[in-house]
Amino acid sequence: MHMPTVTLPSPLVDRAGGLRQLDVPSGTALEVIRRLEVQHAGLRGWILDEQGRLREHVKLFVNDAEASLDTALSDGDELHIVPAISGGAGRARRGGSERARSRREPRRRRLGGRRGTTRAQSGRRGAAKRRSKPRRSARRRSGGKRSVPARTATLPASRPSRAERAELLVGTRKGLIVLRGPRGGPMKVVARAFPGLPVEFATRDPRTGTYLASVTHWQFGPHVFLTNDPAGEWQQADGPAFPPDAGAAVSRIWVIEPGVEPGVLWAGAAPAAFFKSTDAGRTWTLNRALWDQPTRPQWEAGAGGLCLHSICTWPGDPKRLAVGISAAGVWITDDGGESWRWGVHGLVPRYVPEEARANTLAYCVHSLQRARLRPATLYMQFHGGVYRSDDAGETWIDIGTDRGLPSDFGFPIAVDPHDPDRAFVIPLVRDEDRVTPQGKLRIYETRDGGQHWRARAKGLPQQNAYLTILRQAFCTDANAPLGLYFGAESGELFGSADAGRTWSTFAEHLPPILSVRCSR
């Protein structure tokens, strides 16, 4: 009788060195999985979350019975790690269940014990003793973590000058799509990475040239990946993840923002957590001061969860930051995150009964952006309201009511990096009808800090255009004239190379767009 056998699903095979089946010394299912993580570091965080709990959309079976982490495995048992049925029946149509296919592809490695056999050892025994030669993974590994390839297209032979070209990183519900081309379009898709998976956010650190992507696997949770070439291989970072004593697990990584100091990056995650990296995104640590805020037990989640989605650094001062949380308001630090204070004075949560507003903590920030040339100025798209702060987030002024906007509800807001009085919003009808008003897609611009707004719509659809643009799906570049880019949940991508005076459709028929960032 041999040791228990663990059978992995297809998404985890590459993370275990290309092995689908592995023999592991007996113990509880939890102990067996922990042994797998020791032997194959690429599996860490995929089956179990950082608290050692089975991920929500993963099931365990021992032989033919559903099991738990406490189930004991004896010699000869088979532990199946199975994605929960949350993504359709595509695997069955391609030839049966994971368990059935795994029996037809019996790749195996034994971990520990005298009977342990690696593929390399098996190869030395000669091909005559094997019916078929096991396939080896052609992908490279780094630090025990599996790399993920991108699918690429060929760039056009004739290119505009570097000053006229742009690169857009478009996170969608079905992968990361990279486009390059003239700033005013047309652009071409040059790479697609993480096919089939939601890419919540992707950006490029201009200091190092490193690309970072936040990817949420349907069954195996959120992870950050890094690369120097979005058309090449991506390496998994260590975190963001909670320490064991935090009693929580990261459910989504909303945003990644380069810091002021070399090598520093910040990440915002759900549930409302703030993480710091000091090694260019390879490892991450939790900011305990914000996590341990005494009011946290009373914080309420918005429709998208309890998420920290906006990070505003202060140019030239690494200690000053502001973050936006849905739905727990604005939090400000002047000491690099050692302490935090709340900045909500002047915000009006109209979704809360008027008599209860004085005591509520439910301030639903949708997006928060800093004016780079006047850092004390912040702009906010609120859950019903557009606001500006001139004192670094301490107090807020209403700039959305009776100023020319068709609605003050929306998700994203963008600020001109060269002009602190210039900002852009994309209004939606209201909370209950989150589409562009009157079936017209219009961007609204202010040139006077929100005193007046005017529509910018030339080139955008103006009939039956009921689109939804999410909080991370609108951005600027750093050029003059300013470039503006945004994407819709319906899969259209739009851009302007003249600060919104005219617009072009850059792409159609993409998956629902979650984020857009101009990386060059």
Q: Which of 68, 102, 132 is the last residue of a domain?
A: 132
- The residue assigned the tokens 């727990």 is 328
The counts of H helices and E strands in the chain are 6, 38
**Same-domain status, 411 and 278:** yes
pLDDT of residue 466: 98
* Six token digits for residue 384: 């019903």
Predicted pLDDT at 134: 37
Query: Among 243, 223, 117, which Cα is nearest to 176's?
Result: 223
**Are 45 and 104 in a shared domain?**
yes
Amino acid at position 282, single letter: R
Tokens 């089946």 belong to residue = 21
Q: Are 393 and 376 in contact (CB under 8 A)?
A: no
**Phi and psi, residue 355, nearest 5°:** -70, -15
Q: Which of 290, 300, 346 is nearest to 321 (CA)?
A: 290
Of 417, 416, 510, which is closest to residue 456 (Cα–Cα)?
Answer: 416
Element (H, E) at 98: helix 98-104
Q: Evaluate whether residue 110 is within a structural domain.
A: yes
Structural domain harbouring 47: 5-132
Q: What is the pLDDT of residue 84?
A: 80
The DSSP letter of residue 177 is: E
Residue 109: Cβ within 10 Å count: 24
Q: What is the pLDDT of residue 86?
A: 52
Residues 152, 128, single domain; the answer is: no
pLDDT reported for residue 149: 53
Those residues with Cβ within 8 angstroms of residue 245's Cβ, 6 or more apart along the chain or in another chain? none
Does 367 share its domain with 488?
A: yes
CATH number of residue 406's parent domain: 2.130.10.10
Same domain, 326 and 279: yes
Same-domain status, 13 and 157: no
pLDDT at 150: 52
Asked if residue 27 belongs to a domain, the reply is: yes
Residues present in the chain in total: 520
Three-state DSSP class for residue 128: helix
Count of structural domains within the chain: 2
Are residues 119 and 164 located together in one domain of the fold?
Answer: no
Q: Which of 100, 132, 164 is the last residue of a domain?
A: 132
- For the record, the structure tokens of 80 come out as 């199946």
Among candidate residues 78, 106, 132, the one where a domain is terminated? 132
Do 170 and 115 lie in one domain? The reply is no
* In a domain? residue 94: yes
**CATH, residue 37:** 3.10.20.30
Q: In this structure, is residue 411 part of a structural domain?
A: yes
Same domain, 34 and 114: yes
Tell whether 318 and 193 lie within a shared domain: yes
Beta bridge mates, 310: 324
Does 245 share its domain with 271? Answer: yes
- How far apart (Å, rounded) are the C-alpha atoms in residues 344 and 389? 10
Residue 350 within any structural domain of the chain: yes
439 DSSP 8-state letter = G
Question: Which mean pLDDT values do the consecutive 10-residue runs of the chain (520 residues) have?
Answer: 88 92 93 93 93 93 94 93 63 34 38 36 37 37 47 42 81 98 92 97 97 96 97 96 96 98 98 98 98 96 92 97 97 98 97 93 97 98 97 98 97 98 98 96 98 98 98 96 97 97 96 96
Asked whether residue 139 is domain-assigned, the answer is: no
In a shared domain, residues 174 and 110: no
Q: How many CA atoms lie within 13 A of 378 on its CB side?
A: 30
Domain membership flag for residue 137: no
Q: Is 140 a domain residue? A: no
SS3 464: coil
